[in-house]
Amino acid sequence: MERRLPRVLLAAPRSGAGKTTVVCGLLQALVNRGMHPAACKCGPDYIDPLFHSEVIGAKGCNLDLFFTAEDTARHLLAQSADGCEIAVLEGVMGYYDGLGGVTDRASAYHVAAATETPVVLVLDARGTSLSLCAQLKGFLEFRKPSNIQAVLLNRCSAMQFPMLQKAIGEECGIPVLGYLPALPQCALESRHLGLVTAQEVADLQEKLRTLAETLTETVDLEALLHLARSAPPLHWEEAETVPERTDGPVLAVAKDKAFCFYYRENLRLLQALGAKIVEFSPLTDQELPPCDGLYLGGGYPELYTKQLSENVAMREHIAEAIRAGLPTFAECGGFLYLHQEMTGEDGTFPMVGVIPGGCRNTGKLRRFGYITLTANQDNLLCGAGETIRAHEFHYFDSDSNGTDFHAEKPVTGRGWECIHATDTLFAGFPHLYFPANPDFARRFVRRMRGVQ
């Protein structure tokens, strides 16, 4: 398959350089011009895509080359940008930072190379001048080709910009498309899992309006669009996904402020396999909707422990349904919710109670990064010995992490046991990415249909 898709990837030398702020402002600026951009995130992050979709309801996906092959990533990019005039990709961490911190595999650079996407490097100009040229030369020469074709300066003043633009052009031979001045009123706050979610940002639309208006004045958007249109056509092999049934089954997906971390590709794949998705709120609804399966995603349930606990009717309904054999997939925050109790920001409270013991914030990062999961026994999603690539990022720990899968780090080989998995339940800290092994999603849909 082939498709011509204008596209550009915004990357940076490190995390915290302002990629998300610039990307969100750029998306809004494109919308203000009457365009319909798609927005894709390199890597496994959930929160940045929430900002992308909150800005414009942008279509998009995660592009992660640990989870999938390069051809699959190209297909996902083309699929996610269907009906859009341009795709804006946001990098992850530093441009070359990949698996284990010691390779460029699964880095933003790897995604740019695999998708042949032109790169604009966002450089933080605060507290520096000519040294930016040395930094940029290192990025241009570290890998050949680097795919970096332009620069955008962040936290740069109008007075500073002409000097830096001239120096970078002369020293590095690369255009500077513009700059974003320091706008503290538009800052996006952070917490332990990264940025706060889009729903929690006060006056988000006002912040985005300011960012877009500023970028329109300080960035050569025509030059950026010209760069995006210079990208060659995307090529990929079409993978056929045949719905196993077109009239169901119904999958209840928890969706509210406490449970908001979902890979859109997971939901799209489940739908492509025939599942009908119905959203509900463990915070405010009194019972599950009529359904054949349950998906409890990640998020921030620890911020709403009291409210979740006080919704006794929902807790009891979920517990009864799971014990009666409702096929249930619960990851990270959803796994926490299934414990007997959770200690969150507002105290320790009873939860659903199907996972023994409690869970609590340890105050430090417990697990972080990519893993490969191997099943120790047959279960809801797969047979013994089958594998899927996944990701963990959590400060919480549990009295009962489970022992039904073996997790292994891709670079160090370090491993541990995790996850509660039975014929009807999969619950644990790891976040699964179903396109990494579509058979896991296929089996989940079959089990919702009552097929072994």
pLDDT tens digits for range 218-275: 999 999 999 999 999 999 987 666 666 567 899 999 999 999 999 999 999 999 999 9
Yes or no: say if 438 and 426 are a contact pair by the CB < 8 Å rule: no
pLDDT at 195: 40
* Tens of pLDDT, residues 118-149: 999 999 999 999 999 999 999 999 999 999 99
Name 131's Cβ contacts closer than 8 Å, sequence gap at least 6. none
The share of the chain scoring above pLDDT 70, in percent, equals: 94
Judge whether residue 199 has pLDDT over 60: no
pLDDT value of residue 50: 74
CB atoms within 10 A of CB 414: 10
Please provide the average confidence, as pLDDT, over all residues in the chain.
92
Under the banding of pLDDT at 50, 70 and 90, the label for residue 401 is very high
Clarify whether 260 is annotated catalytic.
no
- Give, in order, the Cα–Cα distances in Å from 340 to each of 308, 317, 343, 358, 359: 12, 14, 11, 6, 9
At residue 194, the pLDDT reads: 43
pLDDT tens column, 86-112 = 999 999 999 999 998 889 999 999 999
Pick the closest to residue 214 from 153, 149, 123, 132 (CA basis).
153
Catalytic residue among 24, 61, 84, 332: 332
pLDDT on residue 363: 84
Closest alpha carbon to 50 in 338, 255, 276: 255
The Cα-based distances of 117 to 40, 66, 77, 92 in angstroms read: 12, 18, 11, 15
- List, for residues 9-43, the tens digit of each pLDDT value: 999 999 888 888 899 899 999 999 999 999 999 99
Q: Which residue has the tokens 């699929």?
A: 79
- Ranges of beta strands (E only) in 199-327 are 234-235, 250-254, 259-261, 276-280, 293-296, 298-299
- Which pLDDT value is given to residue 55? 59
**For the purposes of burial, counting CB atoms within 10 Å of the CB of 344, is it exposed (0-12), middle (13-18) or buried (19 or more)?**
buried
Q: Output the DSSP codes for 172-236.
A: H---EEEEE---GGGPPPEETTEEPPGGGSTTHHHHHHHHHHHHHHHB-HHHHHHHHHTSPPEE-
Amino acid found at 156: C
Kindly state the average pLDDT of the residues 380-390. 98
Pairing verdict, β 119-124 and 7-11: parallel
